[in-house]
């Protein structure tokens, strides 16, 4: 048991879910503190029946803290985590800043749990939300048939852009229905009744930063730099849960029947695949769940060793908060 733990970014959308998970999963500790920006410092949080005052995120706040779960923007993680580590704190980081550092393990507990032993810098990174759900689904296929290539299109909910993204969808939709103007706070274009084929900034070869995460993080987590990934990331007018259309090409052919068996045995993965009954994963039924869901499983009619499927997961839970808490549980179970 850690004597003291901290939740960084405790007042945000992901931080709120982390608190709920720590309480429901009865994560053990002797003391806990909640850290956030100067703007949120001084506010109150109720946790396990007690009231706590949110403290400002400053280096001294980590004195005596053994473990921290952090959900902050990249630039905040860049600045505060080294100070926390210097004070002896092991940090589980949700940001994207440390993910590709070769001395920082990038962990999905169901996929690469042993990677936590490689935390040389006192940091364990949690992957991007869209990467996490995809790799949970890819893992059993890769172990069985050796993945050569992945073509993935993501249909990402506005909750992935934070509370301001959700506000844009809600207010923008109301304005559109009432034929009124609305000044979007988060998105460059209207998200109501629209799709935006850009998430993040454009980088190499015309791919966005969000798309390149699907390439580089997948390779790092699965430990295989030979895997080719062609990603397209799209923001869609859905409140919560990311959906993905995934096409996998493997060295060894995987039939639909075999894929279903592999998926069913994978921890944290649920198959909903009854096309005749029109049953398949939907954001509407997957929101609030901690698992990854797959369906529409079918062989690729354009290649011999291709398999196509649909994948949905709650991006705020398994894509962020749940994975981080699972890492904390994994760290604790490994001493």
Which residues have CB under 8 Å from 182's CB, separation 6+?
171, 172, 174, 175, 176, 190, 192
In 62-214, beta strands by DSSP E: 67-70, 90-93, 123-125, 147-156
Active site positions, annotated: 129, 242
Which residues is 32 bridged to in the sheet? 5
Neighbours of 122 (CB within 10 A): 17
Cα angle for residues 43, 48, 53 (degrees, 5° grid): 20
State the burial class of residue 247 (Cβ atoms within 10 Å of its Cβ: 0-12, 13-18, 19+). middle
From first CA to last CA, the distance across the chain in angstroms is: 9
Using CA atoms, how far residue 215 sits from 152, 212, 220, 328, in Å, is 10, 5, 9, 25
Query: How far apart, in whole angstroms, are the C-alpha atoms of residue 249 and residue 15?
Result: 37
Phi, psi of 77 (to 5 degrees): -65, -40
Cα angle for residues 119, 121, 123 (degrees, 5° grid): 65
- Residue 189: both structure tokens together: 């274009």
């Amino acid at each position: 048991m850690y004597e003291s733990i901290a939740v960084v970014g405790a007042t945000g959308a992901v931080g709120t879910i982390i608190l709920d998970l720590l309480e429901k999963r009865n994560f053990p500790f002797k003391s806990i503190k909640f850290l956030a920006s100067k703007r949120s410092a001084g506010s109150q949080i109720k946790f396990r029946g007690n009231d706590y005052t949110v403290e400002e995120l400053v280096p001294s706040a980590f004195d005596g803290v053994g473990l921290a779960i952090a959900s902050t923007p990249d630039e905040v993680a860049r600045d505060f985590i080294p100070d926390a580590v210097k004070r002896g704190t092991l940090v589980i980081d949700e940001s994207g800043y440390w993910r590709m550092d070769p001395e920082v393990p990038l962990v999905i507990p169901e996929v690469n749990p042993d990677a936590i032993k490689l935390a040389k810098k006192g940091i364990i990174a949690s992957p991007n939300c869209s990467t996490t759900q995809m790799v949970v689904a890819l893992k059993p296929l890769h172990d069985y048939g050796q993945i050569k290539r992945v073509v993935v299109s993501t249909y990402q909910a506005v909750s992935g852009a934070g509370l301001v993204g959700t506000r844009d969808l809600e207010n923008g939709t109301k304005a559109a229905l009432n034929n009124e103007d609305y000044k979007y706070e988060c998105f460059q274009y209207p998200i109501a009744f629209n799709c935006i084929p850009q998430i993040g900034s454009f980088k190499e070869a015309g791919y966005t930063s969000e798309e390149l995460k699907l390439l580089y993080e997948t390779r790092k987590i699965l430990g295989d730099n030979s895997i080719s990934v062609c990603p397209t990331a799209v923001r869609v007018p859905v409140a919560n849960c990311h959906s993905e259309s995934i096409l996998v090409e493997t060295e060894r052919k995987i039939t639909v029947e075999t894929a279903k068996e592999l998926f069913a045995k994978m921890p944290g993965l649920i198959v909903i695949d009854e096309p005749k009954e029109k049953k398949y994963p939907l954001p509407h039924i997957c929101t609030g769940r901690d698992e990854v869901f797959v369906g529409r499983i079918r062989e690729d009619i354009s290649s011999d060793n291709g398999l196509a499927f649909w994948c949905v997961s709650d991006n705020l839970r398994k894509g962020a908060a749940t994975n981080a808490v699972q890492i904390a549980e994994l760290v604790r179970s490994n001493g």
